[in-house]
Amino acid sequence: MVPLLLLPLLWGGSLQENSGYELRLKESVTVQEGLCVHVPCSFSYPWNPQYSSGVLYVYWTNSCSLNISNARMSDTGSYFFRVERGYLLKYTYKDKKLNLQVTALTEVPHIHVPEPLESGRPTRLTCNLPGSCEGGRPLTFSWVGAALDSLGPWALRSSVLNLTLRPQDHGTNLTCQVKQEGYTVITERTILLNVSYAPQLTVRFSKGNSTALKTLSNHMSLSVLEGQFLLLVCEADSNPPATLSWSQEGKALSPSQRSAPGVLELPHVGAADGGVFTCQAQHPLGSQNVSFSLSVQRSPRSCKCVAEEQQGSWPLVLTLIRGALMGAGFLLTYGLTWIYYTRYGGPQRTRPRS
């Protein structure tokens, strides 16, 4: 075993400083309890031919680098570096010392996520605690999240997580928790899953005075009266957002609103508006479209006018009938009166007395 090279500040032996001795060392180092740290260090000393017979008690020439694993609170303190070679070289570098500070564990895990995350594709995520090492305190991992409901408990207790994400996992939280053996403190990190998935198209419509939107299935037929108002709304559920466009019989249509390319308004549907309408969603993971046939029906205005005319002529007919009945009654009364006076000679006059 290599003799102790880093000595606590309270080490009693001190040697007189000589020229030619140089130590390059970071003098202040902080490490959290249970974690590991690497302290780079190099040194030099004046050469003496008599040193060749002695053994230099360091592993690498002119290197005094130090690895600290599983740091403890009791390790806090100041340390000197000392070099020995035979009985001639014994020197402690007192002009520079290592001040080591061990603090409570507050480090949070790091989650490595391969980008981009795609729905339906197997994904491998890893969780690690910065500052940990093989010689440090053993760690226990656990995963928490809505995207893990199909995994068994053993799969959630490893630093490596293998899963296949779904569209509904986009925007959900994924948490990695780490606990050191022998400690109750749990550190964790939570990330928001950004899952890419192909578009799912939905086309809805409303017509006339109705404001309720109804769903149109692919290759469905829609009938609208001529002159009616028609609203078409195309929506795509995807990540990242898909690019939407409308076309009629293969001819591109301009959206009613620039900010809403999936909205198409036809204020007064005409005969020329009939045909096949298509909404298309373009996306890096695949495109999708929904088509339907629009049929324009002529409005039954002429029948309504005839009915209105027929309905409007009834008052005139009734007036004529009423007038005819009144005239017939008058003629009947006049005729009966005339017959009476003709047959009976009218009322008898009183004869004068003789």
pTM (2 d.p.): 0.69
Least confident of 59-63, 172-176, 235-239: 59-63
The domain 110-193 is placed in CATH, from the list 3.40.50.180, 3.10.28.10, 2.60.40.10, 1.10.10.60, at: 2.60.40.10
β 110-112/186-192 pair status: unpaired
CATH no. of 198-297: 2.60.40.10
Query: Does the pLDDT of residue 256 top 60, yes or no?
Result: yes
More confident: 167 or 10:
167
Mean pLDDT on 224-230: 94
Query: Does the pLDDT of residue 4 top 90, yes or no?
Result: no
Cis peptide before 116 (omega within 30 of 0): yes
Query: Does the pLDDT of residue 184 top 90, yes or no?
Result: no
For the stretch 69-109, pLDDT in tens is 999 999 999 999 998 877 778 889 988 999 999 999 999 99
Architecture of the domain whose range is 6-103: Sandwich (2.60)
pLDDT at 168: 96
For the stretch 144-166, pLDDT in tens is 999 998 888 888 899 999 999 99
Q: How far is CA 290 from the centre of its chain?
A: 24
Six token digits for residue 105:
């564990």
Residues of the chain with CATH 2.60.40.10: 6-103, 110-193, 198-297
